[in-house]
Amino acid sequence: MEWRRVILTRQHERNKKQCDAFVGLIQAHNKLFESAEGHHLANAKLTVELEQLKKENLELMVKLEAGGGSGQGDKNMAQKLLSLQEELTDFHKRKGENSQEIIDLNKAVQEKEKELVAKEQKILELETSIKQLNEANENMEQNLIEATTANQVLGDEQQALQLAFTSLECKFRKLQEENNDLVSRWMALKSRDADKMNAENDKVLEQKNLKMQKELAEAAREQVNITAPTGDNMGALGTPTACSFVVTVPSRAINTLEAHDGEVNAVRWSPSGKIFATGGSDRKVKLWQAIGSKCEAKGVLTGSNAAVMSVEFNMEETLLLAASNDFACRIWSLPALRLQHTLTGHSAKVLAAKFLGEPNKVVSGSHDRTLKLWDLRSKNCIKTLFAGSMCNDLMTSDTYGSTIVSGHFNKKLMFWDPRVDTCRQEILMEGQITSLDFSPDGMVLLSCTRDDAISLIDLRSNQVMKTLRADGFHLGCDWSRAVFSPDGEYVMAGSGDGTIFIWNVMKTKVEKILQQHKHPVTACSWSITGSSLLSCDKQRTVVLWADF
Amino acid sequence: MMADDKENLRAVWDGKIPVCFTLATDEVFTAEQPEPMFLMLPRVSYLPLVTDKVNRHFIRYVDPDDHGEMWLEDEGQPLKWHNPIGVLFDMAEAESRLPWTLTVHFQRFPEDELFHCSSKEVVESYFMSMVKEADCLKHNSRIIGNMQKRDHKQLWLGLQNDKFEQFWFVNRKLMVHSEGEMFRHIPFRIHWGDRHFIQKLIKPVSADGNAVTLGDLLRETVPEILPKEDSDASSHRVIIQGCVLPPEVPLQWLSEHLSHPDNFLHICVLSA
């Protein structure tokens, strides 16, 4: 390890020799070098400054000399000064004038500016008025366009009407000719008839005379005692069956049925009151027979593809008609329970379907805003009546057989003659119409409206005769059905809270409130026997009400 | 274990050489003759790192329209900037004529003798390549490869700004060796006269387990400079870091302590 020390000392020696000897020297040199450098710079700066000062000095000298030279021409200068002063005063004067002019001009400018502002304001006003006028013009043009289009439309319509009118005129003329022809023929026939009648009359008179003569002759021969007859013949026709039953208002629910899955939309006693049918959301129509307090299922009618909305028997109880939400009506034959007809053609759900008085005719009312008449023999739609609003219920007048009444969403009752295309009469009600029913004598129409009122309309005057309302009576749906009792003394309807209200028509008062349903009541039916009631609700249940 | 003889390391780092710079007389353009400039240059540094001031001083005196890169010359010999200043000094045998007088040139760059050095980045990349080569020889590049870019930068900045602690903080990792495991090879270069340097693979421990010494290395690489057996007077001197060293110094220690910052042991061979 000696060599380490040796190396270190040699290095130190090297440094002593090469380094230490020069460090101080070189540092001093560097210091001097830098200071010399600094002095150099300072010197250069000073030289430049000196140059500048010299230059300045020179300039000053030149100036001084020039000043000294001017001192000699004093007189001249005084003269010059005088003339200059004069000039100066002249200038001052002119300056005053100029400033006056300037003031005048400024005033003029101000006036002009005022004018300008006024003009601008005017321009602004005019612009606004132009804008208004433009707008008015635009409006006018718009109006003109509208008027022109309206005019066009009216013109078109007028043309169409003209065409229709000419064709109708043509028809009318033909009919008149035909009429004339018929009248003349009829007249001829009449006259022939009259002749015949006269001849016959003559004959009869003759015979009578002959007989009289004979009788007189006989009478003259014998004396007879004659007893006078006591009365004249009674009319064979009387008011139909309805009054022959005793109508009672039951107060007990004697049976509660779970008839369908889901809503029960329709319930209906058969005309004989022996069986009844129910229709529900489960797409089925079920037939039941009420024996005492029991209800026996008689059959299930399937075939509907959607909820059944109304059911209806024909008078002979051989057919059952059901309207369905699948846009169709179906007819089953009753003893056989076979689907006989499917009447398709509506383009929306069918809310009501009824047999027309004539055999084999059916009318249906749908949400597609039409009523359709169907012929069961040809299985065709024979007529479409355009009602213009969704039909909620319809009735056919049995007594007249040909009048249809429909109740609509647009609060209108419409009266139709199936032979004519157009509505015969309209009555505007207070609310959307949910159901219709005729009184047994066919003189009063019941209409149940969505404003929770039941209106009775006298069909002779077509005026609302009575309105039945009750606290707590609120309709549960758009097709809540209300009915008359078989004698027309009572009206029965179910409320949205499940209560059933029975009104006395004569007294215009609620006769009875029946509570059994727990859900909104959709429909009810009064048996022809007068003492059994049926009602159904939105939650499967059908209740039979009776007093025995 | 690693380089631990801090006194020797410090002595190596502190070695400085007094240098006098003069501008080549035929390149003086101005009427005024430039003053010579004196500087103490660290032995371990490189010329381009310490001659900024010289450049600034002399550039004022040359033709502003006709001058190129600055280069230095010593007695007609252009100085290779890529060797450490200490090596250049020792090889110039200028010990006897201190301060070492160098001539500054701005014209006629000796293209076939010197590399161009356009900026300090060139020196940096040369220096780093030397360090990497040395580590390749010593540790098969294991250590330099594991270093981060930041460490490389610190190594370089320590050298550039003459910061001993900063430099050795990183450099000692490169000098590390365990007792059983010496350097694989000793990175060294022998500079001899005008010829190219000599470099060979020498292990610090011989096959029979003995430490290889400086004498062994010289015998292996330049046997012709050793004194003949018959005559005691040697014809050559061997100088490391400006000092003649005893031949029995082990190479491992030498490499650790007397290497230049490029991690190479620069050995100068001079005729006696």
- The model's pTM: 0.41
* pLDDT for position A525: 92
* pLDDT for position A232: 44
> Rounded to whole angstroms, how far apart are CA atoms B245 and B242?
9
Same domain, B127 and B213: no
Same domain, B204 and B271: yes
> Which residues of chain B from 222 to 251 reach within 8 Å of chain A, CB to CB?
241-246, 248-249
Assess contact for A338 and A287: CB atoms under 8 A: no
Who contacts A249 (Cβ-Cβ below 8 Å, separation ≥6)?
A485, A490, A502, A511, A512
Q: A400-434 burial, b for 16+ CB within 10 Å, e for fewer?
A: eeebbbbbbbebbbbbbebeeeebeeebebeebbb
User: Is residue B3 one of the residues assigned to a domain?
Assistant: no
Sign of the Cα pseudo-torsion (A50, A53, A59, A62, in order): negative
Residue that finishes a domain, picked among B105, B130, B163: B105
> Rounded to whole angstroms, how far apart are CA atoms A298 and A296?
6
Q: Which amino acid is at A29?
A: H
Assess contact for B258 and B246: CB atoms under 8 A: no
Looking at beta carbons, which residues of chain A come within 8 Å of B95? 17-18
Say if the Cβ atoms of A18 and B98 lie within 8 Å: yes
Tokens of A55: 């230059």
B4 in contact with A, Cβ within 8 Å: no
ipTM: 0.74
pLDDT exceeds cutoff 90 at A6: no
Looking at beta carbons, which residues of chain A come within 8 Å of B18? 18-19, 21-23, 25-26
A25 in contact with B, Cβ within 8 Å: yes
* pLDDT for position A165: 94
Tokens of A492: 């029965």
Same domain, B203 and B272: yes
pLDDT exceeds cutoff 50 at A237: no
**Which residue's structure tokens are 């049918």?**
A277
Who contacts B236 (Cβ-Cβ below 8 Å, separation ≥6)?
B225, B269, B270, B271, B272
| Burial status of residue A541 (CB atoms within 10 A of its CB: 0-12, 13-18, 19 or more) | buried
Residue of A nearest to B213 (CA): A3
A33 in contact with B, Cβ within 8 Å: yes
Average confidence score pLDDT of chain A: 87
Region A79-96: mean pLDDT is 93
Residue of A nearest to B8 (CA): A8
Looking at beta carbons, which residues of chain B come within 8 Å of A13? 243
Nearest to A477 by CA among A264, A286, A276: A264
User: Is residue B4 one of the residues assigned to a domain?
Assistant: no
Say if the Cβ atoms of A14 and B15 lie within 8 Å: yes
**CA geometry: angle A283, A287, A290, nearest 5 deg:** 140
Same domain, B22 and B64: yes
A331 band by pLDDT with thresholds 50, 70 and 90: very high
Same domain, B189 and B249: yes
pLDDT exceeds cutoff 70 at B82: yes
User: Is residue B10 one of the residues assigned to a domain?
Assistant: no
pLDDT exceeds cutoff 60 at A22: yes
pLDDT in tens, B152-184: 888 888 888 888 888 888 888 888 776 667 788
Instruction: Give the largest Cα separation in chain B, rounded.
Output: 70
- Give the minimum alpha-carbon distance from B209 to chain A in angstroms, rounded to a whole number: 19
**Which residue's structure tokens are 């028509």?**
A505
* pLDDT for position B233: 61
Long-range Cβ contact pairs of A12-18 (< 8 A, separation 24 or more) = A12/B11, A13/B243, A14/B15, A14/B241, A14/B242, A14/B243, A15/B11, A15/B14, A15/B15, A15/B16, A17/B95, A18/B15, A18/B16, A18/B17, A18/B18, A18/B95, A18/B98, A18/B242
> Rounded to whole angstroms, how far apart are CA atoms A385 and B52?
114
**CA geometry: angle B149, B152, B155, nearest 5 deg:** 150
User: Is residue B159 one of the residues assigned to a domain?
Assistant: yes
Nearest to B167 by CA among B239, B254, B259: B259
Same domain, B134 and B191: no
Region B100-111: mean pLDDT is 87
Candidates A14, A17, A30; nearest CB to B38:
A30
A506 in contact with B, Cβ within 8 Å: no
**CA geometry: angle A420, A423, A427, nearest 5 deg:** 150
Residue B240 sits in a domain whose CATH number is: 3.10.20.90
Same domain, B24 and B86: yes
* pLDDT for position A290: 86
Sign of the Cα pseudo-torsion (B46, B47, B51, B52, in order): negative
Looking at beta carbons, which residues of chain A come within 8 Å of B99? 22, 26
pLDDT in tens, B213-259: 888 888 888 877 777 665 556 678 888 888 888 888 888 888 888 88
Domain at A249-545: CATH code: 2.130.10.10
pLDDT in tens, A46-84: 999 999 999 999 999 998 887 655 555 678 888 999 999
- Give the minimum alpha-carbon distance from B44 to chain A in angstroms, rounded to a whole number: 13
A181 band by pLDDT with thresholds 50, 70 and 90: very high
Who contacts A458 (Cβ-Cβ below 8 Å, separation ≥6)?
A443, A444, A464, A465
Same domain, B249 and B162: no
Sign of the Cα pseudo-torsion (B155, B158, B161, B162, in order): negative
> In this predicted model, which residue has the larger pLDDT, A545 or B223?
A545
A43 in contact with B, Cβ within 8 Å: no
A1 band by pLDDT with thresholds 50, 70 and 90: low
Would strands A490-494 and A482-484 be described as parallel, antiparallel, or unpaired?
Answer: antiparallel
User: What does the DSSP assignment read for A129-147?
Assistant: HHHHHHHHHHHHHHHHHHH
Same domain, B28 and B84: yes
Looking at beta carbons, which residues of chain A come within 8 Å of B243? 7, 10-11, 13-14
Residue that finishes a domain, picked among B132, B151, B176: B176
Nearest to B119 by CA among B52, B181, B34, B61: B52
Least confident among A237-246, A287-296, B216-225: A237-246
* pLDDT for position A483: 93
> Which residues of chain A from 4 to 23 reach within 8 Å of chain B, CB to CB?
4, 6-8, 10-15, 17-19, 21-23
Residue B123 sits in a domain whose CATH number is: 1.10.246.190
pLDDT in tens, A94-136: 999 999 999 999 999 999 999 999 999 999 999 999 999 999 9
> Rounded to whole angstroms, how far apart are CA atoms A59 and B152?
66
Residue B88 sits in a domain whose CATH number is: 3.10.20.620
Say if the Cβ atoms of A19 and B35 lie within 8 Å: no
A197 in contact with B, Cβ within 8 Å: no
Nearest to A525 by CA among A222, A215, A312, A329: A312
* pLDDT for position B179: 60
Candidates B5, B35, B38; nearest CB to A4:
B5
- Give the minimum alpha-carbon distance from B13 to chain A in angstroms, rounded to a whole number: 11
Who contacts A23 (Cβ-Cβ below 8 Å, separation ≥6)?
B16, B18, B40
Tokens of A62: 């030149």
Region A381-405: mean pLDDT is 83
B99 in contact with A, Cβ within 8 Å: yes
Q: Where are the beta strands (DSSP E) in B119-253?
A: 188-192, 236-240, 243-244
> In this predicted model, which residue has the larger pLDDT, A85 or B177?
A85
Assess contact for A512 and A253: CB atoms under 8 A: no
pLDDT exceeds cutoff 90 at B55: no
Count of structural domains, chain B:
3
Tokens of A489: 């003394």
- Give the minimum alpha-carbon distance from B60 to chain A in angstroms, rounded to a whole number: 12
Candidates A8, A15, A18; nearest CB to B8:
A8
**Domain boundaries, position B144:** 119-176
Nearest to B264 by CA among B144, B175, B203, B193: B175
Looking at beta carbons, which residues of chain B come within 8 Å of A8? 7-8, 11
Q: A162-184 burial, b for 16+ CB within 10 Å, e for fewer?
A: eeeeeeeeeeeeeeeeeeeeeee
Specify the length of chain A in residues: 548
Cβ contacts below 8 Å, chain A against chain B, sum to 77
Looking at beta carbons, which residues of chain B come within 8 Å of A12? 11
Residue that finishes a domain, picked among B76, B105, B134: B105
